[in-house]
Amino acid sequence: MMRVITRILGLTVLSLSFANGASDGMISGTVKGPAGAPFRGAFVQARNPETRMTVSVLSDSQGRYQVRNLPPGAYELRAKAIGYGDDQRSEVNVADGKSLHMDFSLQNGKVRWSDLTSHQGKKLLPEGKGKEVLMGKCFACHQFQSRIAAKAPRNAAGWAAGIEMMRRTIKYRMRNVTDADAAEMTAYLTKHFGPNSELPSPSDMPGYSELVRPVSDEALNMVYVDFEMPVPNRFPWSAAPDNKGNFWIPFFGAANRIGRLDPATGEVEEFAVPFQENAAGVHSTFPTPDGAVWLGEQGTNRIGRWDPVTRKITEYVDTDGGGKVTVRVNQEGIVWGSGKLSRFDPKTGQFTHYPEIPSSYSIAIDKDGNAWFSVLADGNSIGRADAKSGKVTRWAPPTPNAYPRRMAFDSQGFLWFGEYRSGKIGRFDPKTETFQEYPLPGANPTPYALNVDRNDRIWYSSMDMNVVGRLDPKTGKVIEYPFPYSENTMREFFLDSQGRMWFGSPANNRVGYFMPSNLQ
């Protein structure tokens, strides 16, 4: 059994006490390019097949890397970089307290369509009606890299079957996809990702080089630790910590389950929701101090409660339409749900609705138990529902059509949120009712997942640029950290008691956490 996962990160300035006083192993070495020169910015990954855990680090400007504090076991190693062939090792045995030296050499290769960021793909994929439909109606939950470009080529019948399966199982998200839409998508995918496709490497297309962005030296100081889900296509939306060191995962789409990850072993235990007719769309999980876990079902407009004694989920149906997107529980045990904004009192089993908010997305609870929410339907507002009076107040950020998504409070009581369409991070001061906005770098920053760390720095994921970003409000400086997989699709960040930021990557079927390797 693996020892506690806090030992994996390998941060040189961390001081941790370990069970039995044993120290874990380390793998270090250099990565070189085709000509033998040090290779900067390659990902080196150590994967434990038994626990399905992968640790990813980046090589520095001298090509050096270190994967520290690896629990003993057999690992698969890989060095990779976009446009180069991977260098792999298997059955690398890491012993307690031992260090291994392993060098890698990358050879020239081709840039694959599955390597691209979503922004690059939108610019480089050939135009056509099918592309417009895909991006307008299907690329909300996933995009093209993992479900299209990374798959073996399909013929027209194969693509048609895949599209029909999505329309049938994810009805609440796909009901606006017509037969004509499906035909256009099938034709487009068959032409460009079918057996007879002649789509060139993206790097051979005009404009590719202008879409490649540099990586700063500071951005190389990052460690990712992630866990593959034991079942394919679970679509893990996030990973929320409970008070026992486990992490609760909503499986979005048709899985109709939630999962509990034990990071000490990599084991994921699943619990089915009662609704099994089609896709429930479990969008969020929220553990509470009593050991229960509340969840929201976007596809059924239900909330659920996992009971720690019976280990069963009880569902509560909200008959007022909409879908439960985000759930949060305040200090009084009231369950707030977004979609059609609502509150649920577990003592009475009754929902209270706020008809002036017919559509909302994120929810954050302040120190007084009030629910703050973001509204996407009008593209430009945040608001507060007073827990005692029920009064709802809304404010609009300065930038039109900002499209605020996730939100979180810092230690000073400021509310932070990502402006998905305007490419900014917003800050709202509830005391003065004033905004401040921080522009983000990149052509299409699209901040989605967002949270605040223990130093009041703002972390966000970029849906289209495929980076994890960190904003320092004191300086306005933003560092963009590369992500080791394409199409990160991160939707929500949770901070655990050790300061690690946890995420779900639905398209990659993984959950995990990240931290700067030098705690900068």
As a three-state string, the secondary structure of 24-93 is: CEEEEEEEECCCCCECCCCEEEEEECCCCEEEEEECCCCCEEEEEEECCEEEEEEEECCCEECEEEEEEE
509: left (phi over 0), alpha (psi -120 to 50) or beta: left
Please, are residues 479 and 218 in contact by the beta-carbon 8 Å criterion?
yes
Residue 182: phi, psi to the nearest 5? -60, -40
Give the tokens for residue 113. 């369509």
Which pLDDT tens digit goes with each residue over 199-245?
Answer: 999 999 999 999 999 999 999 999 999 999 999 999 999 999 999 99
How far apart (Å, rounded) are the C-alpha atoms in residues 168 and 161?
10
**What per-residue confidence (pLDDT) applies to 18?**
27
How far apart (Å, rounded) are the C-alpha atoms in residues 147 and 389?
47
**What per-residue confidence (pLDDT) applies to 303?**
97
**Annotated domain spans of the chain:** 5-109, 113-204, 218-516
DSSP 120: H
Using 70 as the pLDDT threshold, list the residues of the chain that sit under it.
1-23, 519-520
Q: Got the DSSP string for 359-384? A: -B--EEE-TTSPEEEEE-TTSSEEEE
**What per-residue confidence (pLDDT) applies to 405?**
97
Number of neighbours of residue 462 by Cβ within 10 angstroms: 28
**What per-residue confidence (pLDDT) applies to 23?**
65
Short-list 81, 151, 142, CA closest to 113: 151
How far apart (Å, rounded) are the C-alpha atoms in residues 230 and 52?
8
**What per-residue confidence (pLDDT) applies to 423?**
98
Please, are residues 382 and 417 in contact by the beta-carbon 8 Å criterion?
yes
How far apart (Å, rounded) are the C-alpha atoms in residues 27 and 70?
8
Task: Please determine whether the domains at 113-204 and 218-516 fall in the same fold group of CATH.
Answer: no
Beta bridge partners of 44: 57, 79
CATH class of this structure's domain 5-109: mainly beta
Burial bucket for residue 436 (CB in 10 Å: 0-12, 13-18, 19+)? middle
Helices 179-193, 156-169: crossing angle, 10 deg rounding: 140
Please, are residues 305 and 294 in contact by the beta-carbon 8 Å criterion?
yes
Short-list 59, 141, 153, 159, CA closest to 114: 153
Options 1.10.760.10, 3.40.1160.10, 3.40.190.10, 3.40.50.300; CATH for 113-204 is 1.10.760.10
**What per-residue confidence (pLDDT) applies to 2?**
34
Strand 434-439 and strand 458-462: pairing? unpaired
The radius of gyration computed from the CA coordinates of the chain, to the nearest angstrom, equals: 23
**What per-residue confidence (pLDDT) applies to 3?**
33
311: left (phi over 0), alpha (psi -120 to 50) or beta: left
Strand 467-472 and strand 104-105: pairing? unpaired
**What per-residue confidence (pLDDT) applies to 418?**
98
Options 1.10.10.10, 3.40.50.620, 2.130.10.10, 3.40.109.10; CATH for 218-516 is 2.130.10.10
